[in-house]
């Protein structure tokens, strides 16, 4: 079945289609500087008591896979939104805390305030898309992504932040760099293969989403990156209310909202909790709601991820949500991703 409305093509769509190029150039640029190597060595030697991962919006959500990786490596890691860190986590600004700060612009209000408050207390590793920004200039070590200029909604900056943070995590965990690069190298062709069918994906999703009043995105583990970012970009792109949460949290209350007007996008995730997510998808379908599973081998082509190393699934999982943003916009006859009330860089707290 096809949508009866065409997709209004604009700068946001062009950014989506530019994602393979952004991933290729980011991977080619990833190198460990002397300062970054020293910070990683200090972390491995136990010189830091905690690693605080911080950002806002999609930059924050992109940190979920890194957080899990560091915890599994035996490190004390925590995710704290920069806005909360500034006012309620002040004691974390300490020489024995290593901060990993992600900001696409490197100059959002919260990041600039963090740099002022920290003022040399904690060492900072920055992941940003903007050389010359306050974060890039004032961090102890900076990892630059190569997404290039982005029109509005985070897409290629989000994917490249995920790539950079995965590379950093593998560096910290002393994983063989050749294996890391080989897996990351698979990201761009996988994204390109999926996006080659973007029109078909949107045309199939549009009728599936018709009549949706309540849209939920749920998952566990590293999939929480796509869950959080996905809900955010749907609201930004389409002015459509969407909520992202863990699969378990969905059972604790929102399950009561199931009806023929409720659509749940369930991310299959990795082997640890995949069966739980499959079961949730089945339960939603059996209880009046509509649900689609996102993962390799998914029944619906727009939700089927390309075959790729498990480590790059967080990069691939956001692609079906990007198609959802285009499908919802097509239903309303509007251009996805064109801001009307906000701007690309948030300059007010």
Does residue 208 sit in the same domain as residue 146?
Answer: no
Cα within 13 Å of Cα(58), Cβ side: 29
Q: Do residues 179 and 195 both lie within one domain?
A: no
Establish if 45 belongs to a structural domain: yes
* pLDDT value, residue 135: 98
Taking alpha carbons only, the member of 95, 125, 110 closest to residue 33 is 125
Q: 3-class SS at 300? A: coil
Same structural domain for residues 234 and 97?
no
pLDDT digits (tens, 9 = 90+) for 298-331: 999 999 999 999 999 999 999 999 999 999 999 9
The pLDDT, as a whole number, for residue 5 is 72
Dump pLDDT digits (tens) for 78-133.
999 999 999 999 999 999 999 999 999 999 999 999 999 999 899 999 999 999 99
Domains held by the chain: number: 2
Q: Which of 161, 185, 209 is the last residue of a domain?
A: 185
Q: What is the pLDDT of residues 237-286, one digit of tens each?
A: 999 999 999 999 999 999 999 999 999 999 999 999 999 999 999 999 99
Distance of CA 242 to the CA centre of its chain: 16
The whole-angstrom separation of Cα 16 and Cα 24 is 14
pLDDT of residue 211: 95
The answer to whether 328 touches 336, Cβ cutoff 8 Å, is yes
At 344, the pLDDT band (50, 70, 90 cuts) reads low
> Is 77 a domain residue?
yes
Residue 99 main-chain phi, psi, to 5 deg: -105, 130
16 Cβ neighbours under 8 A, 6+ residues apart:
155, 156, 195, 198, 322, 326
Q: Is 249 a member of any domain?
A: yes
Does 176 share its domain with 35? Answer: yes
Asked whether the predicted pLDDT for residue 152 surpasses 70, the reply is yes
- Residues 118 and 263 grouped into a single domain: no
Q: How far apart are CA 139 and CA 339, in angstroms?
A: 30
Query: Both 311 and 247 in a single domain?
Result: yes
Indicate whether 13 belongs to any domain: no
Residues 57 and 108 in one domain: yes
Answer yes or no: do 47 and 180 share one domain: yes
CB-based contact 306:316 (threshold 8 Å): yes
- CATH number, domain at 164? 3.40.50.10490
Measure the CA–CA gap between 141 and 126, rounded to whole angstroms: 6
Residue 339 included in any domain: no
Q: Supply the range of the domain harboring residue 98.
A: 31-185
Q: Are residues 107 and 80 in the same domain?
A: yes
Within this chain, do residues 43 and 181 fall inside the same structural domain, yes or no? yes
pTM of the model: 0.96
Residues 262 and 202 in one domain: yes
| Residues 20-58 pLDDT 10s | 999 999 999 999 999 999 999 999 999 999 999 999 999
The pLDDT of residue 88: 98
Could you tell me if residue 169 is inside a domain?
A: yes
Instruction: Identify the pLDDT of residue 339.
Output: 83
In terms of domains, do 157 and 205 share one?
A: no
């Amino acid at each position: 079945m096809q949508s009866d409305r065409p997709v209004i093509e604009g700068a946001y769509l062009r950014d989506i289609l530019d994602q393979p190029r952004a991933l290729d150039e980011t991977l080619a640029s990833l190198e460990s500087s002397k300062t970054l190597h020293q910070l990683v060595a200090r972390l491995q030697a136990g010189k830091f008591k905690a690693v605080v991962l911080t950002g806002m919006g999609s930059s924050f959500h992109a940190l979920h896979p890194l957080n899990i990786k560091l915890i599994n490596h035996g490190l004390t890691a925590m995710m704290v939104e920069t806005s909360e860190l500034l006012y309620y986590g002040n004691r974390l600004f300490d020489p024995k805390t290593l901060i990993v700060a992600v900001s696409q612009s490197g100059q959002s209000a919260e990041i600039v305030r963090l740099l002022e408050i920290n003022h040399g207390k904690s060492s900072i590793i920055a992941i940003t898309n903007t050389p010359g920004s306050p974060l890039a200039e004032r961090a102890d070590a900076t990892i630059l992504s190569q997404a290039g200029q982005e029109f509005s909604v985070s897409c290629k900056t989000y994917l490249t932040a995920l790539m950079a943070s995965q590379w950093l995590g593998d560096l910290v965990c002393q994983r063989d760099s050749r294996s890391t690069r080989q897996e990351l190298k698979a990201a761009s062709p996988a994204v390109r293969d999926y996006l080659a069918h973007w029109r078909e994906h949107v045309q199939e999703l549009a009728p599936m989403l018709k009549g949706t009043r309540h849209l939920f995105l749920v998952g566990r583990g590293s999939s929480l990156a796509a869950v959080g970012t996905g809900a955010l970009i749907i609201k930004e792109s389409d002015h459509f209310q969407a909520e992202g949460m863990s699969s378990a949290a969905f059972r604790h209350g929102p399950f009561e909202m199931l009806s023929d007007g409720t659509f749940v996008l369930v991310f299959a995730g990795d082997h640890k909790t995949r069966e739980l997510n499959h079961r949730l998808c089945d339960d939603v379908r059996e209880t009046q709601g509509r649900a689609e599973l996102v993962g390799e081998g998914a029944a619906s082509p727009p939700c089927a991820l390309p075959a790729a190393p498990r480590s790059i699934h967080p990069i691939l999982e956001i692609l079906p949500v990007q198609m959802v943003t285009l499908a919802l916009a097509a239903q309303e006859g509007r251009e996805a991703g064109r801001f009307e009330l906000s701007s690309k860089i948030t300059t007010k707290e």
